[in-house]
Amino acid sequence: MADFESVRTRLETSYVNPEEDHPYKYFHESTFHPHYDGRFGDRILKYDEQQAHLKALIQTYLSTMNSIGAETWLMHGTLLGWYWNRKVMPWDSDLDVMVSEKSLHFLASYHNMTMHSFKLPGQKRTRTYLLEINPNYREGEVDEENRIDARWIDTEIGLFIDITTLRRNRSADDEEAMMVKDKHHYMLDDIYPLRDSTFEGIPVWIPYAYPDILSEEYGQEALSGTNHEHHRFDAERQTWIPQKILDSKFDGDDG
């Protein structure tokens, strides 16, 4: 991870403890939460704040990738959020995207450590995001310490997107077996051809067999169940509502 002094923004001290991690691990988590970068963040944001920052995080990432032409698509929890209502799920604190091997090489060659500033609607200050590539990206083996190939980081508060790469599974006989360094396996034809859609209002690519990928990773209930993580899906408003609000509404009607 680039050292604190050379990338620091507003913080005086770093909330990272690299000594505690494996010596070859590149990206480190903050001392206060695994989904914050301790070089930029010093606290866990509140529910609403975090949601707004994550939305801006994925919007800026997707529009940057669209404009520089790198191929990226949604995966894991972020894909599940897309499936339900084209939005980040409010209880999520991280985002997952995937890139092709070619795109990663392209990003590493021309865009590593670039800063991208955005003036977002409704925000007075510009926000700056950092694209940082893991120097171990060339090694194609399963590597638990360096499973994240790159990060898109909000340099104001430290939230980030994990970027992983879809690679040829060189240990499999089948040429079409693909893998990611976090040991997830996919068939190439489940990912390609990518489909176009939108996410948080920005054009995005989606894996071809998106519901199969989701039900394999999260179970079939993830596609039908309306209760998740203390939230309930409101079918008419197409949005996740926290159980707390539902309960308080119920009490209000009662009294």
Partner 1 sequence: MPSGTADEDEPLSAYKARLHNQNTTKPLIEQVSNQWKEKDSDTEKVPYYAEDDTRELGFCDLEDDGSCPNVSRDIVSSRRFRRMFAVTLLAALLLYYAWKHLVAPPLEEDWAYKEGFVAQENGTYGIAKGGRDIDPDLVRLQDLDKRLLPGGEADVEGKRRLVFVGDVHGCKEELVKLLKEVEFDENSDHLVLVGDVISKGPDNVGVLDELIRLNASSVRGNHEDRILQVARSAHNTLSSTSSKGHAKDLALLKQLKPRHIEYLRSMPLMLHIPSLPQAAKPTHKKDSPISEHILVVHAGVVPGVPFSKQDPYYIMNMRSINRRTHVPSALHASSKNEKPWFDVWGWYNDRIFRKQSLKHFNHALQPTDYEAEEDNRAWTSLWKNFWGERHARPKPQVVIYGHDSKTGLQIHRWSKGLDSACVGGGKLTALVLNAKGKWETKSVGCKNYRG
Residue numbers at the binding site for partner 1 (CB under 8 A): 69-71, 83-86, 100-103, 106, 166, 168, 175-176, 188-189, 192-197, 205-206, 208-212, 215, 220-221, 223-227, 233, 235, 238
Q: Hey, is 50 helix, strand or coil? A: helix
Contact between residue 37 and residue 30 where contact means Cβ atoms under 8 Å apart? yes
Residue 181 beta carbon to partner 1: minimum distance, rounded to whole angstroms: 15
Nearest to residue 41, comparing CAs of 66, 73, 65, 7?
A: 7
CA–CA gap between residue 233 and residue 159 (Å, rounded): 25
Q: Residue 44 or residue 209: which is nearer to partner 1 going by CB?
A: 209
Residue 15 beta carbon to partner 1: minimum distance, rounded to whole angstroms: 35
Q: Residue 53 or residue 76: which is nearer to partner 1 going by CB?
A: 76
Residue 217 beta carbon to partner 1: minimum distance, rounded to whole angstroms: 14
Nearest to residue 62, comparing CAs of 82, 90, 80?
A: 82
Residue 44 beta carbon to partner 1: minimum distance, rounded to whole angstroms: 29
Nearest to residue 68, comparing CAs of 45, 99, 38, 40?
A: 99
Residue 216 beta carbon to partner 1: minimum distance, rounded to whole angstroms: 10
Q: Residue 18 or residue 140: which is nearer to partner 1 going by CB?
A: 140
Residue 170 beta carbon to partner 1: minimum distance, rounded to whole angstroms: 13
Residue 228 beta carbon to partner 1: minimum distance, rounded to whole angstroms: 10
- Tell me the H-state helices in the chain: 4-7, 47-68, 76-85, 101-110, 188-191, 210-218, 221-224, 243-254
What is the number of H-type helices and E-type strands within the chain?
A: 8, 13
Beta bridge partners of 187: 177
Q: Which phi and psi angles does 135 have, rounded to 5°?
A: -60, -15
CA–CA gap between residue 243 and residue 245 (Å, rounded): 5
The sheet carrying 231-234 orders its strands as: 227-228, 231-234, 239-242
